[in-house]
Chain A
Amino acid sequence: MFSYIWMKILETQPRRYDLGISMLSLGASELMKNRLVGENVHAGDRVLEIGCGTGTMAIQAALRGARVLGFDISPPMLDVAKEKVDAAGLLEKVELVEMGISGMDKLADDEFDLVMSTLVFSELSHDERVYALDHAFRVLRRGGRLAIGDEAMPRGCWKRLLYRALRLPLLLVTFAVTQTTTRAVEGLADLVSQAGFDIESEVRGRLDSPVYLTAVKEV
Chain B
Amino acid sequence: MTTVSAWLVAHLFRWLPHASPTGLVAVGNPDRSSPVIVTADFTLTVERVKRALEGLDVWLLVANTDGINVWCAAGGGIFTAQRVIDAIKVSALERKVDHRQVILPALAAPGVDPRLVKEETGFRARFGPVYARDIPAYLAAGKKNTEAMRRFDFGLGHRLDMFLSMNFPIYLGGAVVMAVVARQYLPGYTALYWGAVAFLYILLDLIPGRTGWSQAFFSAAAVVAAWVAVDWLRLADPLAHWGWQLATFAVFFAAGFDIAGTASARRSDAELMMHRLGFSSLGSIFSEKELGEIHLDRELCQGCSTCFEICPVGVYGALDKDRKTTFAARDVCFACGACGMQCPSGALSLSH
Interface residues of A, Cβ cutoff 8 Å to B: 1-13, 15-16, 73-76, 98-103, 105, 123-128, 131, 164, 175, 181, 183
Q: 27 A-B contacts, Cβ less than 8 Å apart?
A: A1-B42, A1-B45, A1-B72, A2-B71, A2-B152, A3-B72, A3-B166, A4-B261, A5-B258, A5-B261, A5-B268, A7-B75, A8-B268, A10-B68, A10-B72, A11-B287, A12-B285, A15-B284, A16-B284, A16-B285, A73-B80, A73-B83, A101-B90, A105-B89, A127-B90, A128-B90, A183-B19
B contact residues around A99 at 8 Å (CB): 82, 85
Q: How large is the interface on B (under 10, 10 to 19, 20 to 34, 35 or more residues)?
A: 35 or more
B contact residues around A100 at 8 Å (CB): 82-83, 85-86
Interface residues of B, Cβ cutoff 8 Å to A: 1, 14-17, 19, 21-23, 42, 44-45, 64, 66, 68-73, 75-78, 80, 82-83, 85-86, 88-91, 120, 152, 161-162, 166, 258, 260-262, 266-268, 270-271, 283-287, 289, 334-336
B64 & A124 in contact (Cβ 8 Å cutoff): yes
* A215 to B288 alpha-carbon distance, docked (Å): 43
- Given known contacts A11-B75, A181-B17, is B23 in contact with A123 (CB within 8 Å)? no
Closest-CB distance, A127 to chain B (whole angstroms): 5
* A9 to B73 alpha-carbon distance, docked (Å): 11
* A74 to B68 alpha-carbon distance, docked (Å): 14
B contact residues around A7 at 8 Å (CB): 71-72, 75-76, 336
- Given known contacts A16-B284, A128-B22, A128-B90, is B82 in contact with A2 (CB within 8 Å)? no
A101 & B284 in contact (Cβ 8 Å cutoff): no
* A57 to B90 alpha-carbon distance, docked (Å): 26
B64 & A8 in contact (Cβ 8 Å cutoff): no
A3 & B287 in contact (Cβ 8 Å cutoff): no
- Given known contacts A12-B289, A75-B77, A125-B22, is B258 in contact with A3 (CB within 8 Å)? yes
Which one, A3, A15, A73, A105, contacts B262 given CB within 8 A? A3
* A3 to B16 alpha-carbon distance, docked (Å): 13
A4 & B71 in contact (Cβ 8 Å cutoff): no
A4 & B76 in contact (Cβ 8 Å cutoff): no
* A127 to B22 alpha-carbon distance, docked (Å): 8
B90 & A10 in contact (Cβ 8 Å cutoff): no
